[in-house]
Structure 1
Amino acid sequence: MTVSLEQLRRCHIAVDLGAARTRVFVKGAGLVVDEPSVCAVNTRTGALIAVGEFAERMTGRTPGYIRVVRPVSGGTVVDIEMCRRMLGHLLDDKLRRTLRRKPRLRAAACVPHDADPLAQRAATETLIGLGARRVELVDTLIAAAVGCGLPVERPEATMIIVCGAATTQVAVLSMGSIVTADRIPVGGDAIDHAVVQHLRQQHELMLPSQSVRPLQLALSGNGLTPHGPESTEIHGRDVATGLARSVQVQTAAVRDAIHTPLTAVLDGIGRVLRDCPPDLVADLADRGIMMVGGSARLPGLDQMLRDATGMPVHIAERPDVCAILGLGAMLEGRIEPMTLNPLAD
């Protein structure tokens, strides 16, 4: 999966197929698509009814013959045909005509770190189905680090955590490459599920829809930090009666509920640091950790990482789009590799 910056500069579009959202960057036009990776399908006819934001709003509100599906799971395409149809509908007619006029359309795509050959092939086949003649694959960690402005090309350590919906990726980068990395199968969805289970078991309350992010409902203000609100009111459906009901949820109890999935993330960070050379770890003590990804905005998560690692933790300015913006910067030639001058004899 080694691809040069020169090869990326020849690409016309960049795609980030995430479990939560799909993003498309077109050279010269910028970010043109940022929609949920969701499709609504008529199971009787096979017709695609809706994609993106509208399809996500249909979750839990459809009759039996309409199924809401997610063709991407954990950053890996699990349904190539459905993902290709979804991408085709997310791109507007004008953009499709523009891309169709390019006889040798080249595309670049983000893939998770250490993705197996099957996952790489699925991403390639999806873009070839859209008309791409050649597809370049870039590690999400590298693209995200470039997108949030980390000096990845220098001989200095930079640590990045990509907090996705289904996975969390942790890496230490130096001289434009990954020194050590780990992918943890725990993401924002697992944290949300822990809160949903807590509300069901402790309060006998079900939330209205799977598409609602419970953490955004359950927390306000400073969220999970000790300085946040002690409790908040949540509206949902009673498990026994099925009637609407409101309960007061203690923030401390929510912190305990998400402790288990967050422990797995902390263990992954520990493994990466243990495998990292001491000189690079010394750099990280001053520079700290950069968090990107949609789940990086989880209230109080950065403070939990500071307490656990003892290092500074920063959240990128636009954490959810860092990967696609980094890949777009490579396409447009805004990233220059560090030049190494060999010593003369």
Structure 2
Amino acid sequence: MTLCLDQLNRCTVAVDLGAARTRVYLKDTGLVVDEPSLAAVNTRTGSLIAVGEMAGGMAGRTPGHIRVVRPISGGTVVDIDMAQRMLRFLVDDKIRRAWRRKPMLRAAVCLPHDAEPIAQRAAVEVLGALGARKVEMVDTLIAAAVGCGLPVEQPEATMIVVCGAASTQVAVLSLGSIVAAEKVQVGGDAIDYAVVQHLRSEHELMLASKGLHPLHLALFDPMRIGTETEVRGRDVATGLSRTVLVNTAHVREAIHTPLTGVLDAIGRVLRECPPDLVADLADRGVMLAGGSAMLPGLDTMIEQATGMVVRVADNPDTCSVVGLGAMMEGRIRPMKLDPMVS
């Protein structure tokens, strides 16, 4: 992947193909697209019915011949054709007209750490369908660190944890490069799955995807820890609709198990770092980014396990694309490390 800022300065658009949401940043304009990475398809005709928020509203509520799909998983395109069609509809006519005025459009895209060549090629093909003649690929970890305002260009250690829907990436950066990094398949989806399984085993309740929303609100509110929240779902035995009161403290215990995978990844990254960089981190702490960074108790859990200060970025869900936009607009300059002449 490239991190040549001179090449990024020539780009016009930055794209973050996330498992949960797709975001598009237009140079000198800002964030113009922030929609769920979902598409509703008529399986009888193959036609695209809805994308983004509209498709999200259809999830779990469609007849058999309409299917809501995710063409992107873990930051990797798994269905190139559907991802192209989805992105084409998410990008409105105004943006497409601006792109058509630049026949040699260059685009930048965030990709997960150590993305396979086939995943890189898939991202290039998706953006190529929109008219991009050249695609620059940037590691999501570096883009997110820039978007958080971390001094990644300095010879100081900065630690970033990007918590996505399908995976979590951990890295220590210095001098604009990754010193050590890990990626684990634990994210917001795994947390939701743990909550659903907890309700099924403890309350014999099958919860719809929309039913997680009131639980999320309760878990995110520190004033409601240990309180009970009303959740509606389907009874496992009778199949009828039923409402139960769920203790938020018990739900927090249920999500503790998948979150330990994130702690293990942080420990492995710290063991790979030189002692001087680890000493820097003791003072600077850890920055959390990504859509799942606000999971309840995640920052406290990491702080207790590592002994380091943990902070959550101001806008953790958009850090990657905003950081990519900052590099594209030339708002970050690396240290000059020119060869010394004797």
Partner of 1:92: 92
Contact 1:39 1:70 in 2 (8 A): yes
CA deviations 1:278-337 (Å, max 9, x no partner) are 000000001000000010011221111111111000000000000000000111111111
Which string of whole-angstrom CA distances, capped at 9 and with x for unpartnered residues, describes residues 57-115 of structure 1?
10011111111000000110000111011011001111112112211011010000011
Structure 1 residues 126 and 59: CA distance shift in structure 2, 3 A: same
Query: 1:209 Cα deviation (Å)?
Result: 2.9
Paired position in structure 2 for 1:317:
314
Q: Distance in 1 between matches of 2:218 and 2:238?
A: 22
Displacement after TM superposition at 1:56 (Å)? 0.5
CA change 1:220–1:23 in 2 (3 A) is: closer
Cα separation, 2, equivalents of 1:20 and 1:269:
23
> Superposition pairs for residues 163-242 of structure 1, below 5 Å?
163-209=163-209, 212-213=212-213, 215-216=215-216, 219=219, 221-222=221-222, 228-242=225-239
Aligned identity (percent) is 70
Equivalent position of 1:287 in the other structure: 284
Structure 1: runs of 5+ lacking an equivalent:
none
Greater shift in the superposed pair: 211-220 or 233-242: 211-220
With structure 1 as the length reference, what TM-score do the two structures score? 0.96
The residue type paired with residue 103 of structure 2 is P
Verify the 8 A CA contact 1:163 1:188 in the aligned structure 2. yes
Question: Is the 1:195–1:215 Cα contact (8 Å) retained in structure 2?
Answer: no
Residue 220 of structure 1 deviates from its aligned partner by 5.3
**Partner AA of 1:180 in structure 2:** A
**Are 1:276 and 2:269 counterparts?**
no
* Whole-angstrom CA distance in 2 between matches of 1:277 and 1:321: 30
Q: Is the 8 A contact 2:226 2:249 kept in 1?
A: no
Superposed CA RMSD in Å reads: 1.5
User: Aligned partners of 1:248 and 1:54: how far apart in 2?
Assistant: 30
Separation (CA, whole Å) in 2 of partners of 1:309 and 1:278:
15
AA in 2 matched with 1:84: Q
Task: Please tell me whether the aligned partners of residues 23 and 31 of structure 2 are also in contact (alpha carbons under 8 angstroms).
Answer: yes
Deviation at 1:260, TM superposition (A): 1.6
Equivalent residue, structure 2, for 1:68: 68
Q: What SS class does the counterpart of residue 254 from structure 1 fall into?
A: helix
Give the structure 2 partner of residue 339 of structure 1: 336
Alpha-carbon contact 1:59-1:211 (below 8 Å) kept: no
TM-score with structure 2 setting the length = 0.96
**Alignment counterpart, residue 260 of structure 2, candidates 260, 263, 268:** 263
| Structure 2 unaligned spans of 5+ | none
Measure how far apart 1:256 and its partner are.
Answer: 2.1
Q: Does 1:46 align with 2:43?
A: no
Q: What is the rounded CA distance, in whole Å, between the counterparts of 2:210 and 2:302 in structure 1?
A: 27
Give, as a single letter, the amino acid of the residue that structure 2 aligns with 1:39.
A
Residue 4 of structure 1: how far off its partner (Å):
0.2
Letter in 1 for 2:290: G
Whether the aligned pair in 2 keeps the contact of 1:143 and 1:322 (CA below 8 Å) is yes
Q: In the aligned structure 2, how far is the partner of 1:170 from the partner of 1:213? A: 27
Aligned CA distance change for structure 1 residues 15 and 220 (closer, same or farther; 3 Å): closer
Q: Deviations over 1:37-62 (max 9, x none)?
A: 00000111111100000100100111
SS in 2 for 1:340: coil
Do the aligned residues in 2 keep the contact of 1:218 with 1:249 (CA within 8 Å)?
no
Q: Would the alpha carbon gap of residues 306 and 78 (structure 1) be closer, same or farther in structure 2, given more than 3 Å must change?
A: same
Matched, 1:329 2:326: yes
Q: More displaced, 155-164 or 233-242? A: 233-242
Distance apart, 1:340 and its partner CA: 2.6
CA contact (8 A) 1:16 1:324 kept: yes
Query: d(CA) in 2 for partners of 1:8 and 1:52?
Result: 27
Secondary structure of 2:208 counterpart: coil
Q: For 1:29-44, list aligned pairs within 5 A.
A: 29-44=29-44
Report if aligned partners of 2:150, 2:158 keep a CA contact under 8 Å in 1: yes
By how many angstroms is 1:268 displaced?
A: 0.4
Q: 2:106·2:135 contact (CA, 8 Å) conserved in 1?
A: yes
